[in-house]
């Protein structure tokens, strides 16, 4: 029989999957007007949506008086940070832009999206008419350096330098903002507005991550002392409201520290938020640890790995990947929870909005102020969750 592979393959016909003809009319007919009932709902809902949007848009565009936001923009975003020292905040943004630009050039993908988001924010600041000239100049410089950084990053992939710079960015920011004796001191009592919100959130997220991972590992430890300490801590913190913790941090931390060490409000709130977030994060991470099949532990042991090496190289990377969505959810929650610090007398963006609303010249303008605050939070939170989805995809979580 002289039949070879190619001949056999010729016999089998290759069927193409049927192509879908997608025209607008057909889509409408299939999905919106397929029956009398559907047609009725389509029309009714269209009318409803039309009026809803009309009411909202006419209020936002014509009735609302946004001057309350534009006049107090600096207060809302940077609180009572002295105007003469505002250049330090802008310098921080400038450095952040530089690093973001470089990173998006080097890593592409998710980082590029972040870079675009950041560039969009800066461009928005340039476009708004009521932003001060100083801010515009600084933001233009930031935007420029972001774009330059992007092309620079493409040319020079200095991964290690950039990673190190990211690690250094946080202490540098804190140094710039507070001065620490070299620059004129700006006490944290003057930090406020969205600047403070961001700092609180970043500190809580960055500091609670290692703490949460350690607590999660500790909870699974075979040593009873460590295990029960972690269990008690996690369950205790999860059993009480964040507000309580914030009060406790304000009142108790100074007691514990004794005389001589003076921690201001903002730092105490940061400690409270970190301790709170760590407990929740620990439970998320524990979920990830439990999802690792026992075969991974056995294989690592069989290869001679000690428990610390195994945890670091094999278990944690897989566990953390598995819980990225839950962790980012926790980060978003903590970001929004920072608004609770108003209660202990710290003026974040929401607190500032409340204070501004009491200004007699702008009475009755709460709606505009709170909508602005909501928009700021919405933009940042949706950016976070978008990045998390990209991260999941690029790390290949769903597939495996």
Partner 1 sequence: MSTLMPKKSADNTPLEQRETMIECKDVNKWFGELHVLKNVDLTVKKGEVLVILGPSGSGKSTFIRTLNALEEIQQGSITIDGTTLTDDAGNIETIRKETGMVFQQFNLFPHMTILKNIMLAPIWVRKWPKDKVEKTALELLKRVGIPEQANKYPGQLSGGQQQRVAIARALAMQPKIMLFDEPTSALDPEMIKEVLDVMKELAGTGMTMVVVTHEMNFAREVADRIVLFDYGEIIESGTPGELFDNPKHDRTKLFLSQIL
Note whether 398 binds partner 1 by CB under 8 A: no
User: Does residue 400 interact with partner 1 by CB under 8 A?
Assistant: yes
Cβ of residue 285: shortest distance to partner 1, in angstroms? 16
- CA nearest to 310, candidates 299, 320, 300: 300
Tell me the three state secondary structure of residue 18. coil
3-state DSSP assignment of residue 79: strand
Q: How far is the CB of 293 from partner 1 (least distance, A)?
A: 8
Candidate ranges 100-108, 182-190, 238-246, 313-321; the one touching partner 1 (CB under 8 A): 313-321
Per rule CB under 8 A, is residue 318 in the interface with partner 1?
A: yes
> In the complex, what is the shortest distance from the CB of residue 311 to partner 1, in angstroms, rounded to a whole number?
12
Cα(372)–Cα(146) distance, integer angstroms? 26
Shorter beta-carbon distance to partner 1: residue 171 or 396: 396
Q: Give the nearer residue to partner 1 in terms of CB position, either 136 or 321.
A: 321
Q: Does 189 bind partner 1 (CB under 8 A)?
A: no
Dihedral, 218, 222, 226, 229 alpha carbons, nearest 10? 80
Whole-angstrom Cα distance, residue 286 to residue 29? 49
In angstroms, give the least distance from the CB of 317 to partner 1. 5
**What are the two backbone dihedrals, phi and then psi, of residue 79, each rounded to the nearest 5 degrees?**
65, -140
Q: Which is nearer to partner 1, 175 or 305 (CB)?
A: 305
Q: How far apart, in whole angstroms, are the C-alpha atoms of residue 252 and residue 237?
A: 15
Rule CB under 8 A: say whether 321 interacts with partner 1. Answer: yes
Instruction: Count interface residues toward partner 1 (CB under 8 A).
Output: 20
Closest CA to 381 of 328, 344, 339, 342: 328
Considering beta carbons, is residue 52 or 309 the nearer one to partner 1?
Answer: 309
Residue 26 or 301: the one with the smaller Cβ distance to partner 1 is: 301
Selected binder of partner 1 within 109, 120, 187, 317 (CB under 8 A): 317
Does residue 19 touch partner 1 according to CB under 8 A?
no
In the complex, minimum distance from the CB of residue 304 to partner 1, in angstroms, rounded to a whole number: 4
Could you tell me if 274 and 210 are in contact, meaning their C-beta atoms sit under 8 angstroms apart?
A: no
Write each residue from 267 to 296 as x if it is in contact with partner 1 (CB under 8 A), else as -, in one continuous string.
--------------------------x-xx
Give the up-direction half-sphere exposure of residue 13: CA atoms within 13 A in the CB hemisphere. Answer: 3
Write each residue from 292 to 311 as x if it is in contact with partner 1 (CB under 8 A), else as -, in one continuous string: -x-xx-xx-xxxxxx--x--
Identify the CA nearest to 292 among candidates 332, 330, 258, 320. Answer: 320
CA distance linking residue 111 with residue 100, whole number of Å: 8
Query: Of 135, 124, 273, nearest to 197 (Cα)?
Result: 273
Q: How far apart are alpha carbons 184 and 178 in whole angstroms?
A: 8
With contacts defined by CB under 8 A, name the span among 54-62, 165-173, 223-231, 317-325 that binds partner 1: 317-325
Tokens 């439990």 belong to 290
List residues near partner 1 by CB under 8 A: 293, 295-296, 298-299, 301-306, 309, 313-314, 317-318, 321, 396, 399-400
């Amino acid at each position: 029989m002289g039949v070879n592979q190619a001949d056999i393959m010729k016999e089998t016909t290759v069927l193409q999957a049927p192509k879908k003809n997608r025209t607008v009319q057909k889509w409408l007919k299939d999905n919106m007007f397929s029956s009398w009932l559907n047609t009725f709902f389509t029309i009714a809902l269209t009318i409803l949506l039309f009026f809803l949007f009309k009411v909202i848009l006419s209020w936002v565009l014509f009735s609302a008086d946004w001057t309350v936001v534009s006049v107090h923009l600096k207060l809302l975003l940077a609180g009572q940070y002295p105007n003469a020292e505002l250049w330090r905040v802008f310098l921080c943004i400038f450095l952040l832009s530089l690093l973001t630009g470089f990173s998006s050039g080097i890593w592409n993908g998710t980082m590029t999206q972040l870079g675009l988001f950041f560039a969009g924010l800066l461009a928005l600041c340039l476009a708004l008419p009521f932003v001060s000239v100083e801010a515009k100049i600084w933001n233009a410089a930031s935007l420029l350096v972001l774009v330059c950084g992007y092309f620079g990053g493409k040319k020079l992939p200095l991964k290690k330098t950039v990673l190190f710079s990211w690690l250094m960015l946080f202490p540098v920011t804190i140094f710039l903002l507070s001065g620490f004796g070299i620059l004129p001191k700006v006490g944290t009592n003057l930090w406020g507005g969205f600047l403070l919100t961001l700092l609180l959130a970043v500190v809580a997220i960055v500091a609670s991550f290692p703490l949460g991972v350690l607590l999660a590992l500790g909870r699974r430890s075979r040593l009873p002392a460590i295990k029960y300490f972690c269990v008690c801590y996690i369950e205790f913190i999860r059993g009480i409201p964040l507000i309580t913790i914030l009060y406790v941090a304000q009142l108790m931390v100074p007691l514990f520290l004794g005389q001589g060490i003076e921690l201001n409000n903002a730092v105490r709130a940061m400690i409270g938020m970190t301790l709170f977030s760590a407990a929740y994060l620990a439970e998320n991470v524990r979920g990830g640890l439990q999802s690792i099949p026992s075969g991974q532990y056995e294989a690592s042991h069989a290869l001679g790995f000690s428990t610390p090496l195994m945890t670091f190289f094999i278990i944690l990377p897989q566990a953390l990947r598995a819980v990225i969505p839950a962790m980012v959810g926790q980060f978003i929650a903590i970001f929004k929870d920072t608004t609770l610090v108003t209660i202990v007398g710290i003026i974040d963006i929401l607190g500032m909005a409340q204070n501004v609303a009491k200004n007699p010249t702008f009475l009755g303008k709460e709606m505009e102020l709170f909508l602005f605050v909501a928009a700021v939070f919405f933009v940042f939170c949706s950016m976070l969750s978008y990045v998390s989805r990209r991260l999941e995809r690029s790390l290949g979580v769903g597939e495996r």
